[in-house]
Amino acid sequence: MPDIIHFPQGIPGFESHHDFQLNVEEETHLAQLISQDDNLIVFVLIQPQAFFPDYLHTINIDEESLEVLKATPDSKIEIWTILTLNSTDVTKTTVNLKAPLLINPAAKTGVQMILSDERYLSRTLLFEKENYAQDIREGAVG
């Protein structure tokens, strides 16, 4: 049974959308986040650590976000990032590391937090290594 996650502040660009269905596909580290107000609004999410092992080992969540998440000191907050797929060339898929989605599974609440860290970009190539990308291109065709 998929979870409905409540985003009290909406998501930037979709501020009036507050409830999203989260469908996690465990094996691929992927998930879909579907707006309950408009099911054509669908985000494709990925667990960033699967691709970027050094991403956000420690994260300072601001107080406003903690409040929005109804987080307690014991809360285990999940981090997801939004993919922007490239329909003509999958190797150009980018991931938004600048603004991860934080989800508190216990309270079924979520927030998109914009990091002040300038190192993280909203358009980071998911497949950064050229040979790796080549490998994938062949795999995707075959």
Cβ proximity of 57 and 45 under 8 Å: no
Report how far Cα 126 is from the mean position of its chain's Cα atoms.
13
Pick the closer one to other proteins by CB: 75 or 94.
Answer: 94
The one-character DSSP state at 13 is T
Cβ proximity of 20 and 125 under 8 Å: no
18 touches other proteins (CB under 8 A): no
Looking at residues 37 to 96 of the shown chain, list those that interact with other proteins (rule: CB under 8 A).
40-44, 49-51, 53, 62-64, 67, 82-85, 87, 90, 93, 96
Tell me the CA end-to-end span of the chain in Å, nearest whole number. 34
Question: Which positions lie near other proteins, rule CB under 8 A?
Answer: 11-14, 27-30, 32, 35, 40-44, 49-51, 53, 62-64, 67, 82-85, 87, 90, 93, 96, 98-99, 112, 114, 116, 122-123, 132, 135-136, 139-140
